[in-house]
Every structure is written in C-alpha cells, then in structure tokens.
A = this chain, B = another copy of it.
Amino acid sequence: KAQQTEDLLNLLIKKNVLTQQEADSIRADEAIKEQAKKESLANRHGISIGKALQISGLVQARYQGFEQSTVNNSFDLRRVRLDLRGNITDSWSYDIYTEFGGTGVKLVDAFVAYTVADYLKFSAGQFKIPFSVESLTSDSQLEFSDRSQVVEALASRTKDVIGNSNGRDIGVQVSGSFAKIDDFYLFDYSLGLFNGAGYDVTGDNNNHKDLSGRLSIHPVKNLSVSADFYNGQGNYGTPAINQKRNRTGIDARYVWKALSLTAEYDKGTDGTIKRSGWYGQAAYFILPKHLQLAAKYDSYDPTQTSLTDRTNWYTGGVNYYFNDWTRLTVDYTIRREQTLTQVKNNLLNAQLQIVF
C-alpha cells in the first residue's frame, strides 16, 4: 500500500497538483514517524501482532567445562523459551511463558493482570516471587551465566529446600510505582500471597499461604535500593513436614553510563537452619554496546552454626553483544571451600544467547 501512495504522489507531482517539495514533506513526515517507531521498537524484543499478542523468545546454547572429573563437559540447551503476552484492553493483560529446554516442557509464567494505574496493578496466576534483585532480573539480562549461590538457595531456585521453581510460585499480587520525579518513580512496591509449594503444581501441599513483599527506592535515576521478605511455611524435608521457610534481603543496583554495579545480601531460615549469603559484582562496557567485562564475588553460608561450610566463588566474565538480540557470554568461576581441603570444582561457561 505504501507503494500505491508513493505512485499517487509522483503522479500528482507530474500533474502539477503537488510540487516536488510538497510531496517530499509528506514523505519526510512519514519517514520521521517511522524512524521514531523503529527506535522505540529497537529497545524491546518480541514480535507484535497488534496490541493483543506479542510473541518473543530466548534460546541459550551452552557449553560447560567442569574441573571435576566426575561431571561431564557438555553441550546443552540452557533455556529455550517462548513468551506470548498481550493487552486485551488498556487494563487487562496476560502472559504465558514456557520453557522447552532441558527434559520435558514447563510453564514458567502464566498470569492475568489488571492495571488500575501505575500505582496499582493486580496479578493472579503463576509469576515471580517479589524477592531478590538477581532473581527478578530476566535470565537474558544477567551479566553472568549463573545466578549467585544465596539466590539459588533462598529465592525458590535450584538449591531451595522446596526444589527449583525458577523463582516462581502461584498466587495473587498487588504492585505498583508511585511518587514520580521527572521521568521516574521514587518507589516501587510488590506484595504477594502464594501457595509456597513452588511452580507447576496442581495444588498447595499445606493450608498455609505465604506472604512476600518488596519495596524499592530510586533516590536518583538508575539507582535502585530495595528491601524484601518472604514469610512462609513449606512442606519439605524427609519425611516432608510443615516447617518455617522465611527470607529477608536487601539489594542495590546502580547503572552509570558503561558501568553497572550490583550487590545483594539475603538471609533465611529453613526449619531451624539459618542461612545467609551475599554477592557484589561490577560490569563495564569497554567497547560501547558490544564488549562488556564483568567480575563477581559471591559468598554463601548454608548453615550458620557450622563454621566449615561457607563457599566463596570468584567469577570473571566477558559478554560480547553481536547486536541487541545476540550475546556470547564466557565466564569462569573459581570455587573456594571454607575447609582446608579444596574441591576441584571450578567451572567454565560459554553461552550463546539469542532473544527475539
């Protein structure tokens, strides 16, 4: 159709109904709008089919080299994800996010949301628990290939006592942002009520519903300082019984030009066991938009009463962005045990990622 309008413009010029200049100005107006639209689209992923459906996805092809001789160096598909989301009306939206990587297919997110205003949004279904900045960061936007030890242990991830739920649970949530200063909000909040039995389940394993909340403050733009908690009763252990499963945490993230800094401290109680850990990391683009160096210190104490089980991990990594959607991440983690005898368990990750 664009061509037809173009042909018409040319004909009208030839017939002296329009001057060349007038036709050009129509073309230019259009071009400017198109460009603005393209630029706004360039910053987000996903292919939109109207407002009601946006399809996006993530593929992470990985190679892992293990120092241990008992673990096999392997190629694998870390994540193969498809996301369908959309706005049914201005207020109502949905999101269905699925994982095809690994063995079997899983539902990652599935929720319905109702947005009253920026300061008030209701969600129902399966989505991320509002705990830990690193857990809440999209998998595709982490600056390292793995999350930190304490986050994997306390934010419903691989080392959590209730098993790996990818940081998700099923329930309802109210959230929002308020106190606008110029072009950003001073505060974000989230408060959710969850089963506390993990994701992809057909029901709760006890009658207790878990409460989790998070408050973020942005004293300046691009700085987030947050505090969060999770107050639950899980059904776990051998044999599985109802036990306390509480967490509290604080974290901060600051992005300034090519530099990004993140730090987080979390502690938790599983039954009678107290755990805690923290990490600090920095990443810097030495080639704007393309080459990023990153370093991280990550310390975790799985049992506060034991003085020999802390593990400290040192990670150095490189991210090369081929374009906005494609990234190669290579990082190496040195793992140090608190005990005198060190385990050979360092890890090399090489991960090629495409988002669409």
A contacts, CB < 8 Å to B: 1-5, 7-9, 11-12, 15, 17-18, 22, 26-27, 29-30, 33, 47, 49-50, 52-53, 55, 57, 59, 61, 63-64, 71-77, 80, 82, 84, 86, 88-89, 91-92, 94, 96, 98, 100-107, 110-112, 114, 124-126, 170-172, 194-195, 197, 200-207, 209, 322-323, 325-326, 352-354, 356
Interface pair B206/A52, CB less than 8 Å apart = no
A204 to B114, CA, bound (A): 44
A59/B110 contact (C-beta < 8 A), A1-B5, A105-B105 known: yes
- 30 A-B pairs (CB sep. < 8 Å): A1-B1, A1-B5, A3-B29, A4-B30, A8-B9, A15-B18, A17-B17, A55-B84, A57-B84, A57-B96, A59-B111, A72-B207, A74-B170, A75-B170, A75-B209, A77-B110, A77-B126, A80-B110, A86-B356, A88-B323, A89-B326, A92-B326, A94-B356, A98-B100, A101-B110, A102-B200, A102-B202, A105-B106, A105-B107, A112-B354
Contact of A100 among B63, B76, B96, B102 (CB under 8 A): B96
Stoichiometry, as copies per complex, reads 3
Distance from A129 Cβ to chain B, minimum over Cβ atoms (Å): 13
Known: A4-B26, A59-B111, A94-B354. 11 other contacts (CB 8 A): A4-B30, A7-B26, A11-B22, A15-B17, A47-B52, A57-B94, A59-B112, A59-B125, A74-B197, A80-B107, A112-B353
Max chain B C-beta neighbours (<10 A), residue from A102, A207, A354: A354
Chain B residues lying within 8 Å of A53, measured Cβ to Cβ, are 47, 55, 356
Interface pair B7/A323, CB less than 8 Å apart = no
Chain B residues lying within 8 Å of A22, measured Cβ to Cβ, are 11
A352 to B61, CA, bound (A): 35
Chain B residues lying within 8 Å of A76, measured Cβ to Cβ, are 170, 195, 201-203
Interface pair A356/B30, CB less than 8 Å apart = no
Chain B residues lying within 8 Å of A4, measured Cβ to Cβ, are 2, 5, 26-27, 29-30
A200 to B73, CA, bound (A): 16
Chain B residues lying within 8 Å of A27, measured Cβ to Cβ, are 4
Chain B residues lying within 8 Å of A124, measured Cβ to Cβ, are 61, 352
Question: Which residue of B is nearest A92, CB measured?
Answer: B326
Q: For the complex of A and B, list the 5 residue pairs with the smallest distance between their C-beta atoms, beginning with the closest.
A: A74-B203, A61-B125, A74-B204, A61-B124, A47-B53
Interface pair B88/A356, CB less than 8 Å apart = yes
Interface pair A112/B352, CB less than 8 Å apart = yes
Interface pair B55/A49, CB less than 8 Å apart = yes
Question: Which residue of B is nearest A199, CB measured?
Answer: B77
Chain B residues lying within 8 Å of A3, measured Cβ to Cβ, are 29-30, 33
Chain B residues lying within 8 Å of A202, measured Cβ to Cβ, are 76, 102-103
